[in-house]
Amino acid sequence: MDGDLTARLIYLGLLLTALGAWVLVEYRGRLGAAIRAGLAWALIFVAVLAGYGLWRDIRSDLIPTQAVMEDSRIAVPRARDGHYYLTLEVAGTPIRFMADTGASSIVLSQADARRLGIEPDRLDYMGEAITANGPVRTARVRIGPVVLGPYSEQRIPAWVNEGPMDMSLLGMDYLRRFRIEIADDRMILSR
């Protein structure tokens, strides 16, 4: 057992001791009421855990995701915020992108770059992109393989943004490889 785990166990023991002492003082002489209150809190805790587990199981049904259709077309539903989000597998890692027809290239957030094994702090930010929030420095990288449904691309160019980004952008350098059709709140990508 390392020191960090020992410290956590000591801290947890102190918390449980303090809670136990409070229960003894609060419910002195009323053991039945203490047991009922403890069982009620245990049931609430179990219900919250079950709700969280169910949410993880059903969220994909409630939040629409992309789907590959029988003819190898990819249907991407429009999200509630009006954007289209695609999950691509980049070097074996699923990365969620926002389709951005106003962006020229694939732009990776620093967090997604790290997930791909790229250290943003070690990159040379020699490029510059003009964004809605003003100019931002960028560093060119190559990523791959990039897989979207049945389509795979090897080592394609991308940029890592030096500024803060909520998520990575899928720009026209990648999207132009597809025929794009938008109808009935869906974006259909095909080749």
Indicate whether 77 and 57 sit together in one domain: no
- Which of 62, 92, 112 is the last residue before a domain boundary? 62
- Which of 62, 87, 106 is the last residue before a domain boundary? 62
Indicate whether 184 and 171 sit together in one domain: yes
Mean pLDDT calculated for residue range 106-130? 95
Residue 73 has pLDDT above 80, yes or no: yes
- Rounded Cα gap, residues 7 and 122, in angstroms: 35
Amino acid 104 reads: S
Looking at residue 4, its pLDDT comes to: 82
Looking at residue 36, its pLDDT comes to: 84
Indicate whether 94 and 175 sit together in one domain: yes
Residue 74 has pLDDT above 80, yes or no: yes
Structure token pair of residue 180: 């794009």
Residue 54 has pLDDT above 80, yes or no: no
Looking at residue 151, its pLDDT comes to: 94
- Closest residue by Cα to residue 172 from 161, 155, 158, 182: 158
Q: Is the dihedral of CA 102, 104, 110, 112 positive or negative?
A: positive
Indicate whether 97 and 125 sit together in one domain: yes
Mean pLDDT score of the chain: 89
Indicate whether 175 and 141 sit together in one domain: yes
Indicate whether 54 and 99 sit together in one domain: no
- Which of 21, 37, 62 is the last residue before a domain boundary? 62
* Between 38 and 135, the higher pLDDT residue: 135
Helices vs strands, H then E, count in the chain: 4, 13
Indicate whether 95 and 113 sit together in one domain: yes
Looking at residue 59, its pLDDT comes to: 58
pLDDT above 90: percentage of residues in the chain:
55
Residue 110 contacts by C-beta under 8 Å, 6 or more apart in sequence?
120, 160, 161, 162, 164, 165
Name beta bridge partners: 168: 97
Indicate whether 53 and 138 sit together in one domain: no
Residue 170 has pLDDT above 70, yes or no: yes
Indicate whether 115 and 154 sit together in one domain: yes
Which of the four pLDDT bands, split at 50, 70 and 90, describes residue 105?
very high
Looking at residue 63, its pLDDT comes to: 59
Residue 35 has pLDDT above 70, yes or no: yes
CATH number at residue 153: 2.40.70.10
Amino acid 8 reads: R
Strands 168-170 and 146-148: unpaired
Indicate whether 81 and 137 sit together in one domain: yes
Residue span of the structural domain in which 107 resides: 67-190
* Between 41 and 109, the higher pLDDT residue: 109
Looking at residue 161, its pLDDT comes to: 92
Indicate whether 146 and 87 sit together in one domain: yes
Mean pLDDT calculated for residue range 22-35? 81
Amino acid 29 reads: G
Looking at residue 139, its pLDDT comes to: 97
Indicate whether 95 and 52 sit together in one domain: no
* Structural domains counted in the chain: 2
Looking at residue 61, its pLDDT comes to: 56
Q: Is the dihedral of CA 68, 154, 159, 95 positive or negative?
A: positive
Contact (Cβ atoms closer than 8 angstroms) between residue 68 and residue 58: no
